[in-house]
Structure 1
Amino acid sequence: MTKAPDFILFAQHGWADTHRTIATMAKVLATSQTLVITPYLGWFKTWWRIEPLVEKVEQIATETIARYPHTPIRIIGHSMGGLIWLEVLTRHPEWWQKVESLVLIASPVGGADLARIFDPLGVGIGIAGALGINRRQMAQVIAKTIPTLVIAGDIDEGSDGTITIGTTTFAGAKFVSLPRLSHAKLKNHPAVVELIREFWANPGITNPPSSDFAAQLIEHLQSVPGMMDAHCRDFRRAKTYMRLANGLSIHIWTHPLQIEHVFVGNSSGECLYGGFVGWMHRAELRKALDEVETLYATSLHKP
């Protein structure tokens, strides 16, 4: 009889990538008794639709878990690979108690802003339609049961060069940002390996911090239909729209392509959050700003 592995490690590559690099990292993290599963989804196929990719990973996971029904599971996903696993886990809550940890590396959980360049209207053009979806609610539900670690890179005070730091975050996950690591380097780097090992040694459910007003305000803006996380580099372009009693302020800037940006600043003039919507959702953003104005604004500066 074949001896069961000590744990099953699923490691999933993302968009425009192969399994080789993340498989190398997975083997470093594994023990001699670990069953490492690193599905290759096909480089060209990652450009088209996410649903067949989710189904392939789901099938492989289903077959593997059926072979080892009592073996614990650990999951690592880089970029779109993390989004694929959020979709798979949402379809299989019966697996959650088997999963010891979920590690999302540079995964645009809130939606990738670059996806809107390829699919500006959000109508589902190729893989861009899937990458532009906000999966925060999905991730937050999972993180209430599965210990979750989020790792992001920061090469320009706001992004890893491909996705913004803000889009990787969500309530309930432990979050770590690594300076000077780009999107591609994050899928196999000693610093990432060390973070994962530390998390595996002491996994736990991260209780969301008690929501202060800034967190509530940001959550309110993130809930606007079509809202995508923006890089704070454009904060300096924005004009003050309203000031709030507790020192926070809201600023807006319209991109030449009529993309409406909104930023939250603190009393020191630092950017706490940036987001944007396309012209299809400008009315929803204005409605959300009107709601904030009614409840909290102390002064209003119309641009």
Structure 2
Amino acid sequence: MSHLRQVSELMGYLGKLGSPIEEKYVFSSRPIKLLLFSQHGMTDNNRAMGLLARKLAPPQSCIIAPNLGLIDTHLNIEPLICYVERTAAQILEQYRDLPARIIASSLGGVIWIEVLSVHPEWWQRFESLVLLGSPLGGADLARIIDPFSWGIGMAKHLGKNRRAIAEQITAAIPTLVVAGNITGGGDGTVSIESTKLKHAHFVCLEGVTHPELRTHPAVIKAIQEFWSSPRQVLPAPKKDSVSILIEYFRDVPGITDASARDFPAAKTIMSFPDGTSIRTWTNLVGVKHVFIANKYGECEYAAFVGWIHSAYLQKAIDALISLS
């Protein structure tokens, strides 16, 4: 297929998809050899992520950067998922022989995980998946906004734990997770813990805020290094006391990954022979937190439950104490 024909047909799709578009597709001057999907997140449009994709795209790439709209990203996630899914389906169908990559920021990463979870037949098409500050374990800020799970705007969607479906995908597609850290446990919006996934390569960038994950030179460098040579899916980490306890507490109803910034205030309630310990702390409004520390006294995991789920966390802690 000639380059002119490729451009013509893709431009035809613009009209068919019928969404607010500022920069939907960016074309190379040569025949397309790679599809690069770049998805923005909440309270954003596609400009920053489109520019990031341009800086990163290998020669002869076609960048697909849907604009989901500033207002729509505060409302319901389902129309956004459907739009991204429809866009991807049309492009992947049109260019069946081309490989693809994904870069997604925050809510954009959540959307792409939802899309990929219902299209396992696409997984072999994607050379890599890059997630920038995507709270796939559930956003603690969303749980604070909607503590009773009443369904307040996008908070009801971002507070959901999608780690199980995400880790099915990261076990099949080489994935890079990039997190920022300005608080000791998060990027000011999303906790580091909520971004972590088994099988994924992980980079935490000190001094990088959540919005800067779309623009910071350190992010560009991390992605370039990830793409510089073929990457493999990482094996699941070996089980030890810390990993077993993390999995145990992640099964508690209503638990949400949190920042480790309040770890110094927590008190040890249980210790294990290898030096691992469980610590708890309750904030001024009665929200209970649990922390897991390694043998060096460093925080390996932080989480909290809202008021309506406090009893479940206490029951999980009591069960462990009764076995000791």
- Using the size of structure 2 for normalisation, the TM-score is 0.88
**TM-superposed deviation, 1:172:** 0.9
Q: Are residues 1:185 and 2:218 paired?
A: no
- Provide the alpha-carbon RMSD of the alignment: 1.4
User: Matched residue of 1:86: which SS?
Assistant: helix
Distance 2:155 2:232 in 1: 33
Q: Partner residue of 2:105?
A: 78
Partner amino acid for 1:194?
K
Distance 1:23 1:32 in 2: 15
Unaligned runs of 5+ in 1: 298-303
Could you tell me which of 101, 109, 114 is aligned with 2:128?
101
Q: Are residues 1:255 and 2:283 paired?
A: yes
**TM-superposed deviation, 1:5:** 1.8
Distance 1:242 1:211 in 2: 19
Partner amino acid for 1:258?
G
Which sits farther off after the overlay, 82-91 or 215-224?
A: 215-224
Runs of 4+ in structure 1 over 6 Å off = none
Unaligned runs of 5+ in 2: 4-30
1:105-153 CA-partner distances (Å, limit 9, x unpaired): 1111111111012211123211000000111111110011111110111
- Counterpart contact for 2:278–2:290, Cα < 8 Å: yes
**TM-superposed deviation, 1:96:** 0.5
Q: Partner residue of 1:110?
A: 137
Q: Are residues 1:278 and 2:306 paired?
A: yes
Alignment of structure 1 residues 136-285 onto 2, 5 Å: 136-200=163-227, 201-285=229-313
Partner amino acid for 1:290?
D
Q: Partner residue of 1:301?
A: none
Distance 2:115 2:206 in 1: 30
Q: Are residues 1:134 and 2:134 paired?
A: no
1:187-208 CA-partner distances (Å, limit 9, x unpaired): 1222212221221222211112
Partner amino acid for 1:238?
A
1:16-58 CA-partner distances (Å, limit 9, x unpaired): 1111011101011113411100000010000011111111100
Distance 1:53 1:187 in 2: 19
Which sits farther off after the overlay, 202-211 or 160-169?
A: 202-211
Q: Partner residue of 2:2?
A: 2
- Counterpart contact for 2:147–2:307, Cα < 8 Å: no
User: Matched residue of 2:262: which SS?
Assistant: helix
Q: Partner residue of 2:146?
A: 119
**TM-superposed deviation, 1:268:** 3.3
**TM-superposed deviation, 1:236:** 2.2
Distance 2:322 2:242 in 1: 16
Partner amino acid for 1:204?
Q
Number of residue pairs the alignment of both structures matches: 296
Percent identity between matched residues is 47
